Structure 1
Amino acid sequence: MTSQWPQNQYNKKKYFAEQYVDNSDSAIIAIDIDEIVVIYNQTAEDIMGIPADEVLGKQFCELQERKLGTQDSILLNTLRIGRPYSHVEANIETPLGVMNVMAFTTLVKDKNDNVIGGILSIRDVTGQKQLEEKVVKAEKFSVIGELAAGIAHEVRNPLTSIKGFLQLLAQRFPKTDQVQQYINIMLDEISRINYIISEFLLLARPTVPIKRTTGIHNTLDEIVLLTEGELYIKNIKLIKEYDHNCPTVKVDVEQIKQVFLNLVTNAIAAMPEKGSLTIRTVYDRFENAIRIYFSDTGIGIDHSIIDSIFDPFFTTKEEGTGLGLTVSYRIIENHGGKIEVQSRPGEGTSFIVTIPAYRQ
């Protein structure tokens, strides 16, 4: 039996290079000195969403109209000015969704050191970016948590004394007395401070979820019941789109209610004059998880701040603490899920909560 393995050293090198290009996890696109595409591997097809037979042998500049992304110019620049690029980060739209990529280019030269082409390599670093963001958030929570714990204890002790003396003082005045009203206002404000301190402590020492099996739709309906009065007053239409194939979940119901209530309240606040709030559930069988969408038609979130909305103390509300979404993020994370946001300014916002389904 004759071996198909190349015997010539040049052929071996060519064979290895072809195998690397064909099987690489990176998208590899090469053009010659005339800017014609000569290499376009399978990963490039997957990321770009354009078949190789529509690309190979054609001018690379023509592909800019096909929305190859921001990396096309660096390949042409590499060839035209003779300078390769390294570690160029960008976000590109692909058939698989928005992808974080790292791009590199290199020049191809002949034996006489003449430039004969250029190569672009695009590597998907979406997972790496998500991991980095998760680490940064965890570090933020750790630092803020330590600070919050110290402040909370120092503030709560004198508050307890003040509250006790105010309650004693209230007994010395009749209920109709003006002083009694002032005392009640002070007690209410102390209660509000205590609530904020409780959220501080949740950042410092996240409560271990006391999980029980429940249906996610029952929990959502309870939140809708709590907020239907405010929805009615603001003339906000509620749309429920439940996937009735959703299995049960095993969660701390009170903590999950806190998250859902916070998201619904934020959606209502984003629609000062009528609008619609859609609560939709979807069961992902592949991930065995349930996604809950809270989509409003409100003012939306500006792209310049959308990456900061889960940060501690970040708020756009005059009376907000900036802890609601941070605590919600921490709760969902403690349940092995995730919470994401998508928004278009002037059109609305969607928060997507993913919770693992219960496995018997």
Structure 2
Amino acid sequence: GEDTAVQALHEGADDYILKDKTARLPTAVVRAIREARSLAERARVEQELLRAQRLDCLAMLAAGLSHDLRNILQPLLIVPDLLAIHSDDPKIHKLGQVISESGRRGHEMAESMLAFVRGSGVARERVDVAALLQAVQLLLHGSLGRQVRLEVESLPEGELVTRGNYTELQQSLLNLCLNAVQAMPEGGTVTLSARQRQAPGGSVVCISVTDTGVGMDAETLSQLFTPFFSTKSDGTGLGLVSCKRIVETYDGRIEVRSTPGQGTTFEVILPILQDEAEAEAIESAAAGQGQRILIVDGDATRLSLIGNALVSQGYEPMRALDGAIALQAMAVDMPDLAIIDNDILLLSAASLLSTMRERGYAGPVVVLQDP
């Protein structure tokens, strides 16, 4: 009865449904899965918040250090010119050039640190990927050596559209292309392309920057997005970190594939901006994505009906007529959600749920209750 349902809720059930109201079962399943995801997301966000707080402290320290460093280095950019004016000695001129170059590199590092710490906070806009690739191609034109060839795959205007800040995304792609050029000291080909790709959450835009350069080993790949890590002697180690931050700001990610001696591919993955008709089609699609749902019900007819309804919604039902069968099924395949009849034989719903929790089940639970 109702007392048993209340007890099941105390044991950790997420919901209960009256048996004459099973029409709302698909809705309850979707809600229970959504709430379980929400709890997992909340835990992840809390961890990210703690990490962000630590990074904020480091950012404040980095901002102060970079500001002071920039001021300290400023004279190094002036002194070499003064030395050239007051001395005709070639050795002095050469030393002045060394000082000037060191000062310039230090100044660039300080500027990069400040830019990284400040972030952007700019508004999002509609970004046509074809126009973005053309802009990067124009910016790179004339800055590549004769031994480097740039190939940009043509893309119809408006075919691929994402949302972000045009200037920042352009900056990120330009940075990746310049890195690709620097990875080919003996020359080679940089290929810039874009395509639509299917991902677990739906369609995405995939922008690829591929080079035929020296490639990277697994150890280098693992540190690629670590602040201040660089494979270049004059690198600041903030370029790729900045690219990653920009892309993630717009709900994207960067994937990297590389083989020593065979080149590297960076893929910028961004959400695709869909038209209204496509968005409605996705919204009306089946809610399930193959999640396993354990159904425990002593009524074979209802068990079959519920299972068939869940199959039509895109779920994979695991049917059990009693608690013992349910526990056996769970030992083989851990379900993503459980639907338990409050009047099952052998074990009560509350007892079954308690045993399931003891055996490692941490997913949501919906209890079926008599009216």
Q: 1:154 to 1:235 in 2, by over 3 A?
A: closer
2:159 is the counterpart of 1:256: no
Tell which has more relative contact order, 1 or 2 (C-alpha 8 A, sep 6+): 2
- Which residue does 2:178 correspond to in 1? 265
Q: In the aligned structure 2, how far is the partner of 1:299 from the partner of 1:138?
A: 35
Deviations 1:10-31 (A, max 9, x none): xxxxxxxxxxxxxxxxxxxxxx
Instruction: Determine the structure 2 residue equivalent to 1:311.
Output: 226
CA RMSD of aligned residues (A): 3.9
Aligned 8 A contact 1:209 1:255 in 2: no
For residue 321 of structure 1, what is the aligned residue in structure 2? 236
CA-CA distance at 1:202 after TM superposition:
2.9
Q: How far is 1:194 from its partner?
A: 3.1
Q: Match for 2:163: what amino acid?
A: K
For 1:333 and 1:346, the matched residues in 2 are separated by 29
Q: Deviations over 1:61-88 (max 9, x none)?
A: xxxxxxxxxxxxxxxxxxxxxxxxxxxx
Aligned length, in residue pairs: 229
Aligned amino acid, residue 216 of structure 2: I
1:348 to 251, 255, 263: 263
CA separation in 2, counterparts of 1:276 and 1:163?
Answer: 38
Match of 2:131 among 201, 218, 225: 218
Per-residue CA deviations over 1:152-194 (Å, capped at 9, x if unaligned) read 122233445x379769x86x959x9989998788667545433
Out of 85, 100, 111, the residue aligned to residue 198 of structure 1 is 111
Match of 1:290 among 188, 199, 205: 205
Change (3 A) 1:349 1:141: farther
Measure how far apart 1:281 and its partner are: 0.6
Unaligned runs of 5+ in 1: 1-126
How many Å separate the matches in 1 of 2:271 and 2:98? Answer: 43
1:146 aligned residue (60, 82, 92): 60
Correspondence 1:103-114 to 2 at 5 A: none
> How far apart in 1 are the matches of 2:115 and 2:266?
22
Unaligned segments of structure 2, at least 5 residues: 1-39, 276-371
| Residue in structure 2 matched with residue 279 of structure 1 by the alignment | 192
Q: Aligned partners of 2:271 and 2:57: how far apart in 1?
A: 28
1:331 aligns with 2:246: yes
Q: Secondary structure at the match of 1:229?
A: coil
Does the alignment pair 1:229 with 2:137? no
Following superposition, the deviation at residue 308 of structure 1 comes to: 0.8
1:309, distance to aligned residue in structure 2 (A)? 0.3
Deviation by residue 1:186-236 (Cα, 9 ceiling, x = unmatched): 667545433322221233231212433332222222222232334451243
AA matched with 2:214 = I
Q: Secondary structure at the match of 2:226?
A: coil
Asked whether the 8 Å contact 1:241–1:279 carries over to 2, the reply is no
Normalising by structure 2, we get a TM-score of 0.51
Q: Secondary structure at the match of 2:153?
A: strand
Q: CA separation of 1:225/1:232 partners in 2, compared to 1, >3 Å: closer, same or farther?
A: farther
In the alignment, the residues of structure 2 paired with residue 352 and residue 243 of structure 1 have an alpha-carbon distance, to the nearest angstrom, of: 20
TM normalised by structure 1 equals 0.52
Following TM superposition, by how much is the alpha carbon of 1:310 offset from its aligned partner in structure 2, in angstroms?
A: 0.4
On the 8 A contact 2:152/2:191 being kept in 1, the answer is yes
User: How many Å separate the matches in 2 of 1:137 and 1:341?
Assistant: 24
SS in 1 for 2:237: coil
Distance of 2:53 and 2:177 partners within structure 1: 28
Deviations 1:279-304 (A, max 9, x none): 12112476353110111122111012
